[in-house]
Structure 1
Amino acid sequence: MIWISWRQFRAQALVGVIALALLAAYLVATGLEIRDSHDAYLARCHGSGDCADAMSRFLDDYRTRLLFLAALLALVPALLGMFWGAPLVAREFESGTHRLVWNQSVTRTRWLAVKLLFVGLAAMAVSGLASAALTWAASPFDEVAGDRFGTVVFGARNITPIAYAAAALALGAVVGQLVRRTVVAMAVTMLAFVILQFAVPNLVRPHLMAPGHTALPMTAEAFNQAQGLGSLGNAPVVRGLSIPDSWITETSELLTSDGRPLDAEVFDDCLMRAPKTGATGRYGDTAPCLAAHDLHVDIAYQPNDRYWAFQWIETAIYAGLSGLLAGFALWRIRRQVS
């Protein structure tokens, strides 16, 4: 069975090895470049005494490239599920070869189990090696940035991509078994896994551990450090705040000193008709206008020292999901009408 699985899988495996080799070569070159740049900026800041500005420039140099690479690697498990998992069973049904296979001495359960294990381990290896290469390349940047929980970054570093690949492969196999059409199974697998990868970081990950809570005073400086003010409905909200060494999972509306939400008209007046004070900063006169109302926000956050706990918990969730999907596939194939 292993030999047959290899014969059927060798073309996809070759493509995977070539793509992984090219990606690894690029990441090694990028990692060396980042290290050289990091050392150069450190030397510059030690000479000038302004390390904050030097490190900010260092982050600006590589933020876009590393974000793009993280997004690319976040797609790797989905692509593995699409191109390796979905055809695993669907191709047999579509070509009718399952009738021949299921009439041999090897049981259909063992046939599928070996294919899932063989291709699944290969998918986990590809995803894990790609993640390890990116984690190494980006480590100086990550150490300076401190943004370990970013939606895209978290899913492209360390161990979680290995579990993502296992879940995507198992999902593809189940979809192919149910749909029985290779192209349709590939499309459904990609769509389903992308939805899953959107839902988990936004709906599940923030609640994996009980968050800490704090109140952040909204001074003019704090407003100018935010990434955005207001919303589509012009609600009195502030977006993109940060606190050191933490991941903010929830931010309340702007609150007055007695804990009540800021009146929307007051917020709008400061946005559109702030008194002219000549204030500088991202929001100009708006920041001191809002700060004059003695505002704060209530924040829920996860400290960065919980990063590995989150990595292991999410890995366990996806590993459990892949086990459930594989178990369902094995259960169903015993009852599949040929």
Structure 2
Amino acid sequence: MSTATLRETPAAATVTTAPRGLVRTVLRLHRGALWIWLAFVAGTTGFLLWLLGPGADTAQRALDTYGYSGLIMANGSADEYSSLFSYPDTLITLGSFAVALFAAGPLIARELESGTAQLAWTQSVSPARWLTAKLAVPAAFIVLGTCLLTAVYRQLWSAHGNLLIAGIGPRSFYFSVGPATVAAPLLGLALGALVGLAVRRTLPALALSGFAYFLVYAFRGNHWPFQGRYQQPELHSRSRAVTSAGAEIRDPGCYDDRACLAKHDIVRFTREYLPSSDYWPRQLLETGVLLALTAVAVTLAFALLRRRAADG
């Protein structure tokens, strides 16, 4: 191999055989993606904490004044809060798509296309160890980041689910506050790696991995055989009005009619969120399906890598 070739790939030329050396190499090569991921996790966590604190306080004050029916008709603060509540779910979903694109393009296909991976294999780093490091390092950051997001989102759900307007139930939100939230981007990572190894060209790998993960996401949202009526889950609730004496009465639907509120001696409103009893069995089953698909994709990726390496 010529000196000029080595100079074109300085990062790969420093690969060592030690596991720590492989980890450092992966972190150095993809530090830009790492910083983007950390910024994404920090930003989304900050938004969740705002919803948990100041955002919830504002919505609760409006709710205590007008009640749920009035807020729906007036498009008030609690109605806006209910809409904002589903935004982190959208961000987490987009993050899973980004993981699949990153795995297919910059993580795998680009290094195969440029010859960086092949150079690493000539320095006593086997293809299997190379792929293991490529998957294990980002997987660790994905698990840590999504676990944090899921924990804060779950806390938000538990603390302020009462502020959600009845009937506002994004299809995927019902499955976005549990372990399936962590398993989904891991499937994106494995699927992207498999596509990158199969295509070995950056741009086609990006397009194909995005399409493949979209199919998985669409199937997950609409056709899971165990999802049943949760294809369009409702957030069932029970709303009550509270009098100045602390008694709970049926919500009279006063809207923003202060005379009506005074007539019924209503000082605030309360709402009880009624989760489904079979939520966790379905959540855990989906997690198992996602992890099983991840294992299949990883197995196929290693098998394809062995075949590519054997063919030279």
TM-score (norm 2): 0.69
Match of 2:69 in 1: 53
Matches of 2:89 and 2:117, distance apart in 1 = 38
Deviations for 1:276-316, whole angstroms, at most 9, x for unmatched residues?
xxxxxxxxxxxxxxxxxxxxxxxxxxx71111222111111
Displacement after TM superposition at 1:162 (Å): 0.7
Contact 2:103 2:196 (8 Å CA) reproduced:
no
Quick one: structure 1 residues 210 and 152, their matched pair in 2 at CA, closer, same or farther if it must change by over 3 Å? closer
Distance 2:203 2:229 in 1: 43
Partners of 2:62 and 2:78 within 8 A in 1: no
Aligned to 1:14: 35
Partner deviation per Cα, 1:11-47 (whole Å, 9 max, x = no partner): 21112112222222222122212331354256447xx
Q: CA deviation at 1:191?
A: 1.6
Contact 1:34 1:138 in 2 (8 A): no
Aligned to 2:126: 107
| Residue of structure 2 in register with 1:293 after alignment | none
Correspondence for 1:195: 215
- Where structure 2 has 5 or more consecutive residues not aligned to the other structure, the ranges are 1-21, 238-274
Distance 2:50 2:288 in 1: 32
The one-letter amino acid of 2:280's match is: W
Q: CA shift at 1:155, angstroms?
A: 4.2
2:46 is matched with which residue?
25
Answering whether residue 59 of structure 2 is matched by residue 87 of structure 1, we say no
8 Å CA contact retained: 1:92, 1:98: yes
For the pair 1:142 / 2:114, whether they are aligned, the reply is no
In the alignment, is the contact (CA less than 8 A) between 1:31 and 1:137 conserved in 2? yes
Offset, 1:133: 3.3
Call closer, same or farther: CA 1:160–1:210 in 2, change over 3 Å: closer
TM-score normalised according to structure 1 size: 0.64
On the 8 A contact 1:34/1:141 being kept in 2, the answer is no
Asked whether the equivalents of residues 169 and 233 of structure 2 are also in contact (C-alpha less than 8 Å), the reply is: no
Structure number with the bigger relative contact order (C-alpha 8 A, sep ≥ 6) is 2
CA distance in 2, matches of 1:61, 1:307: 26
CA deviation map 1:208-240 (0-9, x unaligned): 27879xxxxxxxxxxxxxxxxxxxxxxxxxxx8
Give me the whole-angstrom Cα distance separating, in 1, the residues matched to 2:100 and 2:140: 12
2:266 is aligned to none
SS of residue paired to 1:329 = helix
- 1:167 maps to 187
- Cross-structure match for 1:116: 135
Structure 1 residues 127 and 101: CA distance shift in structure 2, 3 A: same
Secondary structure of 1:78's partner? helix
Letter in 1 for 2:289: I
Where does residue 302 of structure 2 map in the other structure?
A: 330
RMSD: 3.0
Work out the CA distance in 1 between the residues paired with 2:128 and 2:122: 12
Q: Structure 2 CA distance, aligned partners of 1:241 and 1:60?
A: 18
* Paired residues for 1:155-234 under 5 Å: 155-204=175-224, 207-208=225-226
**Is the 2:105–2:205 contact (alpha carbons within 8 Å) kept by the matching residues of 1?**
yes
Give me the whole-angstrom Cα distance separating, in 2, the residues matched to 1:55 and 1:159.
33
Tell me which of 59, 65, 73 is aligned to 2:92: 73
- Match in the other structure for 1:129: 148
**Distance in 1 separating the partners of 2:202 and 2:278:** 41
| Native 8 Å contact 1:148 1:304 kept in 2 | no
1:37 maps onto 2:55 in alignment: no
Q: Distance in 2 between matches of 1:71 and 1:159?
A: 16
* Equivalent-residue separation in structure 2 for 1:310 and 1:97 (angstroms): 43
Distance 1:111 1:195 in 2: 28
Distance 1:159 1:171 in 2: 19
**Alpha-carbon shift at residue 241 of structure 1 (Å):** 10
* Matching residue's letter, 2:51: T
| Equivalent runs, 1:278-293 vs 2, <5 Å | none
What's the counterpart of residue 63 of structure 1?
A: 82
Structure 2 counterpart SS, 1:208? coil
| Residue-pair matches, total | 247
Q: How far off is 1:187 after superposition?
A: 1.8
Q: In the alignment, what sits opposite 1:321?
A: 293
Q: Check conservation: 1:32, 1:137, Cα contact below 8 A.
A: no
Once the two structures are TM-superposed, the CA of residue 190 in structure 1 deviates from its matched residue by 1.4
How big is the shift at 1:148? Answer: 9.7
Secondary structure of the equivalent of 2:297?
helix
How far off is 1:200 after superposition? 1.4
Partner Cα separation in structure 1 for residue 88 and residue 41 of structure 2: 13
After TM superposition, the structure 1 stretch with the greater mean CA deviation from structure 2, 61-70 or 157-166, is 61-70
2:228, 2:195 → 1: CA distance?
Answer: 35
| Structure 1 residues 23 and 211: alpha-carbon distance in aligned structure 2, compared to 1, 3 A threshold | closer
Aligned partner of 1:307 in structure 2 is: 279
